[in-house]
Amino acid sequence: FKTNGVDETLQFFRMGLTEGLLALHHGHHPEIDITSETTAKGRWGLYNYLIDQDGHRGQRMGGIYHDEYVKVDGQWKIKSIICRQ
């Protein structure tokens, strides 16, 4: 999937969360490489656990986030996030 901007991203996640579904989403052990004064790349370990409370089932998954960051007006911003599972 691909979203552009905060509004599209929030809408994507709202579509996937239904009543009775609990999601635990953890990012761990970031490795951040500063590639210039205004750019950086990061890798994060992902652990996600979904619990269907009505069906008493769970699903676990893991992956790696590959992020790009950009510094705008002195503040770091997320430019892109790609998750590979």
Tell me the domain boundaries of the chain: 20-84
**82 neighbors 63 (Cβ within 8 angstroms):** no
> 67 and 80 in contact (C-beta within 8 Å)?
yes
Residue 45 exposed, middle or buried by CB count within 10 Å (0-12, 13-18, 19+):
middle
User: What architecture (CATH level 2) is domain 20-84?
Assistant: Roll (3.10)
Give residue-wise pLDDT tens across range 21-62.
788 889 999 999 999 999 999 999 999 888 887 777 888 889
Q: What is the pLDDT of residue 1?
A: 63
